[in-house]
Amino acid sequence: MSNIFHKIVTKKVQMDLIYEDDMVIAFNDINPISSTHILILPKTFIATLDDIQEKHEKILGRMLFVTAKIAKQKHLNRDGYRVVINCKQHGRQEIFYLHMHLLGGRKGTKKFY
C-alpha cells in the first residue's frame, strides 16, 4: 500500500489538517472542484465502498458525522452541500482508498444521475 492517502494517514506526507481523531482524518483537496472541497478518510484502509464490511460500520458512521460537523463549522449547512463517494473506475474513483468529498460554497452546476 503506497498511495497518497495511505501516506497522509500514516503521516508520511503532511497536509494542512482540518480534522483528525482516532478513526478519521480530513483535509482540503489539492485539486478542488468547488470553493470548499474537503476529503474525509478513515484511518483504517478500505479500498472501495464495495470493500466495506459490517466491522466498518462505526468508522463509516464516524465519517458521516465528521462530514456534517465540518460542514457546520464551514457554514455550508446554510445553503447546502454535496457529499460524494466514488467507487471504482466507472464511478470515477482515482485513488483506491475509500474517501468522501465534501463540496460546498457555491451551487453545484451538474446533477448526478
Q: Which residues are catalytic?
A: 99
Contact yes or no for 28/16 (Cβ under 8 A): yes
If one counts every other C-beta atom within 10 angstroms of the C-beta of residue 20, the result is: 14
Nearest-5° Cα angle at 21, 15 to 27: 25
The grid cell for 99 is 474517501
